[in-house]
Amino acid sequence: MNFRSDNEVGAHPSVIEAVSRAFSSGSAFSYGADDWTQRVERRLRELFDKPDLVAFPVVTGTAANGLALACCTPPWGAIFCHPTAHIAAEETGAPEFYTAGARLFRIDGAEGKVDPVKLAQALAQPVYGVPHFPQPAAVSITQATECGTVYAPEEVAAIATSTHRHGLKLHMDGARFANAVAYVGCSPAELSWKAGVDVLSFGATKNGVMAAEAVVFFNAELARDFAYRSKRGGHLLSKMRLVSAQLDAYLTDGLWLDNARHANTMARRLVAGLTPLKGTQLMYPVDANEIFVVMPAHMHDALQDGGAKYHPWPSDRPGERAFRLVTAFDTDPADVDRFLSIAKSA
């Protein structure tokens, strides 16, 4: 009953097999010139219905975000994001490092989403061309958010409108992009470039691969320096097929979306069983595969004694005990049912 994180689970058998095949089939071109890397870009072009898309594999989401933002932002630039965004709260200054000095400015909003009105107000400040201030360069949104909620395509479009009106670029941290697409039920294109996203950190590690993400540029001009930034930042692997083979399998026969659908379904199953129980309360809507829930102490204690694993989470209200549960591509329905059985019996 491990609901601590989708980072803790293993990899899908198809991904493991693909990596094994890539390294048992002899030699291959290095530094991303291999067949797997080229095929991944073709698959992404088909997936997003964007023939001129440019994509680069990287090993971590932090690198994907930092390198993507560095292509949008000069060292004196300003990046706008939600206070809970991974780039602001959990990346140890990586965006500032990769951009060589850009600053992050937090724009609040309910349920982990950037408030478009507050963003528009921030972008309207008279700082453009004034050398005393960081120059607005990019907006970053997280899909799904760090609160487990999902931006609808029209919400992304509203943010993109303000972003582009002032000449900024829109970055999407899509560590759980698959879960967002599975929830909304639209095409990947409708939730990204058709809504105004310029560059996407396309996540896979949380959804069934070993260690692989892709930086996807819908505006190819932004990618002109990426290869140099990637090499300088230590992310141009000599045996890039190690990463690309994972993504190749992930993008084959809809595996990426099937995995996300299962994770989302398991989250809904947990919610359906938890919310009727006395003393439980959801902190946010559950759109994807993360659940933030308040539960009474006796229920938490019983679950811990029963072997359930999940993280405590901060709550704004004194004395309230909140927790985060995360489902994954391989969450066993039997574990969900066992968790709920213990909770109901507490």
- Provide the pLDDT for residue 173: 99
Q: What is the pLDDT of residues 179-211, one digit of tens each?
A: 999 999 999 999 999 999 999 999 999 999 999
DSSP-assigned states of every residue in 9-64: S---HHHHHHHHHHHHS----STT-SHHHHHHHHHHHHHTT-TT-EEEEES-HHHH
Type of residue found at 87: I
CA distance 75 to 190: 31
Q: Can you tell me the distance from the alpha carbon of 183 to that of 179, in angstroms, rounded to the nearest whole number? A: 6
Strand 199-202 to strand 322-326: parallel, antiparallel, or no bridges (unpaired)?
A: unpaired
Q: What is the mean pLDDT of residues 144-167?
A: 98
What does the alpha-carbon distance between residue 203 and residue 102 come to, in Å, rounded to a whole number?
23
Place of tokens 């602001």: 88
d(CA 40, CA 252): 10
Q: Are the C-beta atoms of 299 and 277 separated by less than 8 Å?
A: yes
d(CA 305, CA 300): 9
Question: Residue 138 corresponds to which amino acid?
Answer: A
Q: Which two tokens stand for residue 184?
A: 């909304």
Question: Domain ranges in the chain?
Answer: 13-250, 255-345
Determine the residue type at 159: I
Q: Are 330 and 321 in contact (CB under 8 A)?
A: no
In the block, residue with structure tokens 């959804």: 207
Closest of 243, 189, 199 to residue 34, by C-alpha:
243
CA gap 288, 145 in Å, rounded: 9
Query: What's the fold here for domain 13-250?
Result: Aspartate Aminotransferase; domain 2 (3.40.640)
Amino acid of residue 58 = V
pLDDT digits (tens, 9 = 90+) for 45-62: 999 999 999 999 999 999
- Span 278-330, pLDDT tens digits: 999 999 999 999 999 999 999 999 999 999 999 999 887 777 899 999 999 99
What is d(CA 241, CA 255) in angstroms, rounded to the nearest whole number?
A: 19
- Residue labelled with tokens 């595969």: 289
Residue 268 pLDDT: 98
Q: For residue 108, what pLDDT is reported?
A: 97
Beta strands 103-106 and 77-81 are: parallel
80 bridge partner residues: 105, 139
Taking the CB of residue 345, how many other CB atoms lie within 10 A of it?
Answer: 9
| Rounded Cα–Cα distance for residues 5 and 175 (Å) | 13
Q: Which two tokens mark 294?
A: 């308040």
| High-pLDDT (> 90) share of the chain, % | 97
Q: So what's the pLDDT on residue 318? A: 76
Cβ neighbourhood burial of 296 (10 Å; 0-12, 13-18, 19+)? middle
The arithmetic mean of pLDDT across residues 67-89, rounded, is 98
Burial class (CB in 10 A: 0-12, 13-18, 19+), 295: buried
Q: pTM of the prediction?
A: 0.96
* Contact (CB, 8 A) for 222 and 197: no
Position 271 scores a pLDDT of 98
Average pLDDT over residues 250-272: 99
Task: State the pLDDT at residue 82.
Answer: 99
Q: What is the CATH number of domain 255-345?
A: 3.90.1150.10
Task: Report the share of the chain in percent with pLDDT over 70.
Answer: 100
Predicted local distance difference test score (pLDDT) of residue 222:
98
